[in-house]
Amino acid sequence: MRTRYLVMVLLSSALASCGLDVGADDEDSVEQDVLGPPTGVTASATAPDRITVSWNAVAGAVKYYVYQSASSAGPFTFVNTERAPGTSLEVAHLSGNTQYCFAVRTDDLTGPGGLSTAVCTTTPTTPPAPNSVVVNQLTPTSVKVEWTAVTGASKYYVYQSSAVNGTYSYVATALSPNTSLNRTGLQAMTTYCYKVITQSSNGASPFSVSGCNNSLHPPSAVTATRTSSSRIRVDWTKATGAVKYYIFESRAGGALIFRSTVLNTATPTYSAASLTTGVQYCYQLKTQGTPTTNISNYSLPPACATP
């Protein structure tokens, strides 16, 4: 449909500029038709940061201009152009949980017509990131990354860095309802930090807070050696930054029990006495650094022996 606009051409002004005297009767006018705006304009949020604007095709249109506003009453600002025969445009880089309104103009190269009726929609809320990420050392070369579940999550993207404020790179995806991931083949005695992104039908969350394996590592190469029918000697390699070591013992596969504290010396060692002959004892150690609250995870794997 075309809309007719009356354009007045004041010939008197042009002739007067040439020094000619003309009367009001010499005023002339022309009329110009331009295409009316498209009908059937819709706006559909496809993600927290994206909306697709669509409309019905207009016969004779060469292109369409799409405008955006925070209100159906405007003011509207130009967003982009879609050339015919296209009848939709994706608008990106939007904010979640926010109303956006759109209107469309038609152009057939004689000039743009008026704005269409405005349509509005609200982008969905971006899912939150997990609010806690914990990294536990499983072995000297593997960790378990765990995080809190997010309602509505379909999957989680896990990112890794060598420092809490470092650059994080994607390493794996965990499908919901899983909220943990084992990472193997890592370098021993090395810091690894992780962040997690939630993915849902409403899009992806920002990064979560970071979680790192303890920068203070437990002692490595822990060994348990029978020295008599009632004694076992525990040896290990010193951990960097250690002030002292806590010795934990389990008997016959039972729970770990704290047994002793050993100061960090040149060749730290611990001798367990008064043990029961024929019973297996296993030992795991923790490192304490500075301050005293800086304590490592347990050493792995357990070191076992039978007196």
Task: Tell me the domain boundaries of the chain.
Answer: 2-34, 36-122, 133-212, 220-305
Per-residue pLDDT of the chain (307 residues), as tens digits, is 555 443 333 334 443 455 545 444 444 444 556 789 999 999 999 888 899 999 999 999 999 999 999 999 999 999 999 999 999 999 999 988 899 999 999 999 888 889 999 999 999 888 999 999 989 878 778 999 999 999 999 999 999 999 888 999 999 999 999 999 999 999 877 889 999 999 998 888 999 999 988 767 788 899 999 999 999 999 999 988 899 999 999 999 899 999 999 999 888 999 999 999 999 999 999 999 887 777 888 888 999 999 9
CATH class of this structure's domain 36-122: mainly beta
Fold of 133-212: Immunoglobulin-like (2.60.40)
- Tell me which amino acid residue 182 is: N
SS3 126: coil
Asked if 36-122 and 220-305 have one fold, the answer is yes
Fold of 220-305: Immunoglobulin-like (2.60.40)
Find, among 193, 158, 161, 192, the residue nearest to 173 by Cα: 158
- Position 4 scores a pLDDT of 43
**Side-chain-facing half-sphere of 274: CA atoms under 13 Å:** 1
Buried/exposed code over 266-284 (b: 16+ C-beta within 10 A; e: otherwise): eebebebeebeeeebbbbb
- Tell me, yes or no, if the pTM score tops 0.75: no
The whole-angstrom distance between residue 81's C-alpha and the CA centroid of its chain comes to 31
- Position 13 scores a pLDDT of 43
